Every structure is written in structure tokens, then in C-alpha cells.
Amino acid sequence: MKNTYKFLYILAAATATTFMITPAVADTSWTGNALDNDWNNPGNWTAGVPGVNNYNVFADPQSNGSHPIIGVGETANVGAWSGAWGVAPGGGTPVYPTLFGSEWGQILDIYGSLNVGWYTAPVGNTSVINMYAGGSYTAEGLALGENWWFNGAPGCTWNQSGGTVNIGYFFWGGILNLNGGTFTINEALGVTADPTVVADSNRMMNIAGGSLIIAGDATAMVQGWESRNIIEGNGLLGNISIDTTSTPGFTVITAAPEPASAALMGLGGLLLFLRRWWVS
């Protein structure tokens, strides 16, 4: 609840700031006109490649079917993050740089680094963001289908097979498939998954590899997700492990070992015991 109020407060401030700075904002939208899918090609944007001075960046489907790719070793910026969780960028005159995307069926592939000053807000109609090994995403937050302008838009998915996510808050109203890497939420219990705002039928978290890391003791919160049937380990509801000791100050959630793996681990331990007994 505290995080929800914080988000609404920031939203109100952002809205007011937007109206005040409208003549000066630097917005740009994906066109894909260069036909090479390269995020860093200015020919793919209406007003040049997004940078630290951009406030609103839009990644929508285009008639040519192109989609943005942040390549290996490349860096993409949407505004500039403040460097401190819970602190808006811009100093005395805060701004709220936002990536509105992927939207309405668009795809974004992240092999390099994506840095967003405030939030990434993907929504709608099979929109997908894919992060691969070596990729990274750093921002104040991620509003995955639970956001301020289109809550519960269907089909919004984050697929992560590797790399690192570092955010302050996660507004969760879509699908998160964590198959590798780390997904770290740095504000204590900084996850909002409100079933009165977005139906649970529209959200799911499947941890098949890697780790979900949440600041604070998130045991009760994650157990609540289990009771709501919105978290899986390797595709099995509730098949997860909750660790509050290995990383001080954080809760680490991973997939529980599959039954076959657990049995093999037990067999390996038995064989090791027998070997030591035999040679002693």
C-alpha cells in the first residue's frame, strides 16, 4: 500500500511537471524506417536516437514490421536515472523520463544496456521485451501492464534468459518469465500486484532459472502470491524456494529443485556416504 501511494504521488508530480515543460520536452518515437532494427540508428526514430535529454520515448508497432534491438555492447538511454532509488531525476526540477513500450504488439530485444530515468511501461496485445545474457536494465522501475494509463492491457510479457535488472519498484500486471540472470528490486518490498487494479488472470511469474531478489523480508508477500496461484517454479505453481539469509537485507526467490533433480542429489549424497564408509 505504501508503494502504491508513493507511485500515485510521483505520478501527480510527473503530470504537473509534464504540463509545465511541454514546449521543451524532447520526445521521439520508433519508426523502424531504416529497416535494420538498430535502436542506435537515428533513421529509426522520428526525432533521433533517444538520449539523456529525452523525457518520453515511444516504441509502437510499425507497418514495416520492424522492432528495436539494443545490440551486444551497445547502450540505450531514455533520460538519465538519478542514481538513487526513490529519487526523481532532474534535481530541483524533477523530470520523469519514460519508455512507453513495447506497446500494442511491439517487441524489444535487449542484448546490451538499457537505462531509463524513470519507468518502462509496456502494455498490450502480445507486447514483449526480451533480455538476453549480457544485457542489463537499470531504472527507477518497471510498470509491466500495471501502470497509470492502461492497467491490465493483455499480453504484456518480460522474458529474461540472462543479464541483470536493477530497479527500485516493480508494478506487476503482466507475465514475467525469468529463465536466467537476476531481477533485483531495491526498495523494501517494492512490488505492487493489486488484484483490484489488474486481474490475477493477467499476471504470472515463472521462475525457471536465475533469481528474483527483493529488498526486505518478502516471505509473507511471496507466500501470498503462492496462495493466489500467480507464481511458478519451472512451470509448477508454488514450486519455489524463498531464501532470506544468503543475501543480507534481501529475499532471494528461485525455482525449487525438480523432483528428479532432488532425487539425484539425494542419491549422490548416499553414494558419497557409502564411498567414505567403504574406504574408512
Taking the domains of the chain in order of start, what are their residue ranges? 2-279
Give 216-232 pLDDT, tens digit per residue.
Answer: 999 999 999 999 999 99
Bigger pLDDT: 26 vs 42: 42
pLDDT for 21 beyond 80: no
Bigger pLDDT: 26 vs 70: 70
pLDDT of residue 63: 74
pLDDT of residue 15: 44
pLDDT of residue 24: 44
pLDDT of residue 280: 52
Give 53-98 pLDDT, tens digit per residue.
Answer: 988 999 999 878 899 999 999 999 999 999 999 999 988 889 999 9
Bigger pLDDT: 214 vs 3: 214
pLDDT of residue 9: 37
- Residue 8: C-alpha distances to residues 22, 55, 149 (Å): 21, 19, 12
pLDDT for 22 beyond 60: no
pLDDT of residue 259: 62
Residues 139 and 81: beta-carbon distance below 8 Å: yes
Lowest mean pLDDT among 24-28, 125-129, 130-134, 176-180: 24-28
Q: What CA–CA distance (Å, rounded) separates 183 from 167?
A: 8
Give 125-138 pLDDT, tens digit per residue.
Answer: 899 999 999 999 99
Work out the pLDDT band at 182, boundaries 50, 70, 90. Answer: very high
Residues 146 and 197: beta-carbon distance below 8 Å: yes
pTM for this model (two decimals): 0.86
pLDDT for 251 beyond 90: yes
* Side-chain half-sphere exposure of 58, counting CA atoms within 13 A: 11
pLDDT of residue 172: 98
pLDDT for 35 beyond 70: yes
Residues 209 and 179: beta-carbon distance below 8 Å: yes
Residues 226 and 220: beta-carbon distance below 8 Å: no
* Mean pLDDT across 10-30: 54
pLDDT of residue 92: 86
Q: What CA–CA distance (Å, rounded) separates 172 from 207?
A: 15
- Examine residue 113 and say whether the peptide bond preceding it is cis (omega within 30 degrees of 0): no
pLDDT for 106 beyond 90: yes
pLDDT of residue 268: 52
* Mean pLDDT across 194-217: 97
